[in-house]
Amino acid sequence: MYNSKAYPYPQIVTGEDWNVYENTEHDPQPRTDNLNRQMYVPMNRECEDCGVNHGRMIRRHELGHAKWSPKTMGKLMRGTRADCIHALEEVRINYLLAARAKLPCDEPVLCMEKVQATILRMVKTASVADIILYILASKTYTHDNYILEAVISRDVVDAFYQASNDETLHIIRQSELKFAVQVANNYAANLINHRYNQWPSYRKVQKLAEKLSHVINEFIDKPKADEVNAPQPQPGESEQESEGEGDEAVAAAGSADELERRMRTSLQEDMLYRSGSGIGEWGKMEIHEPPMSVNLRSRINHGRAYRPMDYGYNPKYINRYCIDKKIFKQKQRVKGGTILIDASGSMHFNGKDILEIMMLLPAVNIAMYNGYYEGGHLRIIAKNGMRVDDTYLDDHSGGGNVIDGPALRWLAEMPPRRIWVSDMKVFGIGRNSNGYNLLRDCYDICTANRIINLKDIDEVKEHALKLNVV
């Protein structure tokens, strides 16, 4: 008589007695407890909705855990997350089933309609961390002369990758999805990469999980509502403006809003196309206030602190009544703000540039930053009509970036308007110096504090008077 139940037999693969239980509506999660030799799996056969035997793939996978997974997770390394261990172990077991046992999990464990619905929901609401773990858990393999990803795995990855090119999504969300796919694929590939006649071990899972945990912790937050869907064009905004007119057109506009838009777009595109899959780290920043030996007050056109006006309450300039009636004394607004200059090797400026800027913006504060190896320096080079000498500028320019993020946080606390002079090629320390998280950090700091990026000193001179009335 045909038995409607399909039982797995873990005792065959382990040689020990097991207790096998069927999943129920109240306990639907399949799992294998190697320590107590207990297995919870669905025992159904073909799905009534799609005709696929989902339960068979789940049972096969859990038998793989019974065969190759350790009895316990073991002591977690410092900072290692349990969910990272679980996700990578799923990859390892599915790979061993296909490559070693020739029993691939090549059919979906859910109806594809349900999988697609889950992916659509995650695209809109899930954190980058959740998407990475979901893709890893979906990594399955099939055996065909070479080890290839199975259909279900490709479908999941392709769905997220296609979403990363969906123009109805915000470009930030597109970059997050692309980053998640890249990270998941890289970790899965690293895990199954092994020497001839060897197999990926649980120890390798532990080592990779320690690194993956840093990524997961960095991107555990849910997406912001305004960074999921693409922004709608503002009323009255032309189609050309909404799509962007290029750097030259934006720069020519000269407004703070246009320059901020240019900066956001540039950082977003870098996140979408340039970022690595690793997690970068900023260097430690030291702040210096060197002696300012060059006095520019006599050469800077401050204008008067007060100016004559035809309105007010203090008639100081009675002699002007017959000329222009500007007899009242009014305090003059002074142009200033704070300028932060990227002084790495790719940027070039000198004392003459500082003088010209201070002639335009008498109340400006100017700082520069650069870094070497694992640290960097931010130096206040001009303030209150004084600046450092040219030798100091020459001696402390060049090198790398290293501290873009900390320097921008310093700028965020300074008086407006805040200008960041940089080509925005940001780097931290170490191998993953251009990590996605560093680009995202710069984007968040700049947008939250209305920092405007100008590409070089010439742009500062061009836009200074338009931007820095305080």
User: How far out from the chain centre does Cα 60 lie?
Assistant: 37
Q: Which of 17-26, 167-176, 352-361 has the lowest mean pLDDT?
A: 352-361
Q: Which phi and psi angles does 306 have, rounded to 5°?
A: -125, 155
Average pLDDT, the chain: 82
The DSSP 8-state label assigned to residue 202 in this structure reads H
Helix, strand, coil shares of the chain as percentages rounded to 5? Answer: 40, 15, 40
Average pLDDT estimate for 124-138 = 94
**For strand 38-41 and strand 19-22, is the pairing parallel, antiparallel, or unpaired?**
parallel
Which is higher by pLDDT, 312 or 223? 223
Q: Which of 340, 397, 347 is nearest to 364 (CA)?
A: 340
Q: What is the CB neighbour count within 10 angstroms for residue 117? A: 12
Q: How far apart are CA 349 and CA 356, in angstroms?
A: 11
Average pLDDT estimate for 192-206 = 90
Q: Report whether pLDDT(309) > 60.
A: yes
- pLDDT, position 188: 93
Which is higher by pLDDT, 229 or 431? 229
Q: Which phi and psi angles does 419 have, rounded to 5°?
A: -120, 130
- pLDDT, position 71: 93
Q: Report whether pLDDT(299) > 70.
A: no
Tokens of 376: 């960097």
Contacts of 244 (CB under 8 A, 6+ apart): 250, 265
Q: Which of 129-133, 214-218, 343-347 has the lowest mean pLDDT?
A: 343-347
- pLDDT, position 236: 53
Q: How far apart are CA 305 and CA 294, in angstroms?
A: 22
Which is higher by pLDDT, 297 or 270? 270
Q: Which of 153, 191, 151, 156 is nearest to 177 (CA)?
A: 156
Domain boundaries along the sequence of the chain:
10-218, 247-301+334-467
- pLDDT, position 252: 38
Residue 281 amino acid letter: E
Residue 30 half-sphere exposure, CB side, CA atoms within 13 Å?
21
- pLDDT, position 307: 59
pLDDT, tens digit (0-9, with 9 covering 90-100), for 247-283: 444 443 457 778 877 888 888 877 777 666 678 889 9
- pLDDT, position 52: 85
pLDDT, tens digit (0-9, with 9 covering 90-100), for 141-156: 886 655 556 767 888 8
Average pLDDT estimate for 68-89 = 92
Residue 31: pLDDT band with limits 50, 70, 90: very high
pLDDT, tens digit (0-9, with 9 covering 90-100), for 342-367: 888 766 666 677 767 777 676 678 89
Average pLDDT estimate for 173-180 = 91
Residue 468: pLDDT band with limits 50, 70, 90: low
Burial 97-116 (b: 16+ CB within 10 A, else e): bbbeeeebbbebbbbeeebe
Residue 14: pLDDT band with limits 50, 70, 90: very high
Which is higher by pLDDT, 13 or 77? 13
